[in-house]
Amino acid sequence: MIRSSISIHWSTLASSETLPESRATARTLLFRVAGKVYGCDIEAVREIIPYRRATRLPGAPPFVQGLVNLRGTIVTVLDLGARLDPARPPIRDGSIILAAHGTRVVGVAVDEVMDVQGISEEHVEAHGGARDALIRGLGHLESDVVVLVDIHTLVTQVLL
């Protein structure tokens, strides 16, 4: 359902020369956290809801905002801003991206959801030496560079 509504901006890739058909193009959800643009694979994204206050989960790391009620299901919400930069104040506005990891759903709070774009694998610069396993690499768009985060890593790092 989500996939059908995604417009893949091939134009943004036009400048790049050879584009073998076989190379995978990952549809990427772009969003902003603390003024920077990030992206994640849209395959994992189930739904995007407006920010809502979470019930605090005592004892959890600071970047865990807590629990929200999604139509009767309780979802744990993580603050991507605070996760990437612990000094950052918690997100209190914006959107929550609901991402699926196996049978589990986790919420990721971001400042703003922007767009969906296709990023071909060869425009992804693997972040081999990244300090943070959460960061998969850098994705090059026409005029922008986005930091690609791996939702699945985020979930496995945080949830039991």
Partner 1 sequence: MDSAQYAELFLTESREHVSAINHSLLELERGVGGDEPVGAIFRGVHTIKGMSATMGYTAVASLSHELETLLDVVRRGGSTVDARLMDLLFRAADLLERAIESAVSGVDAVDVLPMIHQLQSEAGRDSQTFLSMAMTAELPVPGMGMGMTAEMPIPGAWTAAVPAGPGMLVRVRIVEGTPLKGVRAFLAVEAAKKLGEVGEVSPPVEALQADAFDHDFALRLTTELSRDDVIAALRRAGDVDEVSADDAAVSAPLVEAPAPTKATNGSSGNGGNGATNGGAVRQQRSVRIDLRRLDNLMNLIGELVITRGRLVQLTGPVDDPALAETVAQTSRPVWQVFDRFPRLVRDAARSVGKPVEFTIEGKEVELDRSMLDEVGDPIVHLLRNAIDHGIESPEVRREQGKPESGRLTLSASRDRSAVAIRVTDDGRGIDREKVLQRAREHGLIDASKTELTDEELFRIISQAGFSTADKVTDLSGRGVGIDAVHNRVRSLGGSVDIRTAPGKGTTVTLRLPLTLAIVRSLLARIGDETYAIPMTHVSETVELHPQIMHTLKGREVLMIREQVLPLIRLRQLLHYEGDATRGLEQVVVVEMAERRAALVVDALIGQQEVVVKQFDGVQNGLTLFGGATILGDGAPALIIDVSSLL
Distance, in Å, from the CA atom of 146 to the CA atom of 50, rounded to the nearest integer, reads 23
Binding status of residue 96 toward partner 1 by CB under 8 A: no
Binding status of residue 133 toward partner 1 by CB under 8 A: no
Binding status of residue 57 toward partner 1 by CB under 8 A: yes
| Residue from 106, 119, 148, 151 in contact with partner 1 (CB under 8 A) | 106
At 81, list the tokens: 């801003």
Which residues 6+ apart lie within 8 Å of 57 measured at CB? 64, 66, 67, 76
Distance, in Å, from the CA atom of 53 to the CA atom of 66, rounded to the nearest integer, reads 9
- Site size for partner 1 (CB under 8 A): 25
Region from 18-26, 79-87, 88-96, 151-159 binding partner 1, contact rule CB under 8 A? 151-159
**What is the phi-psi region of residue 102: left when phi exceeds 0, alpha when psi lies from -120 to 50, beta otherwise?**
left
Binding status of residue 69 toward partner 1 by CB under 8 A: yes
Q: Which is nearer to partner 1, 25 or 153 (CB)?
A: 153
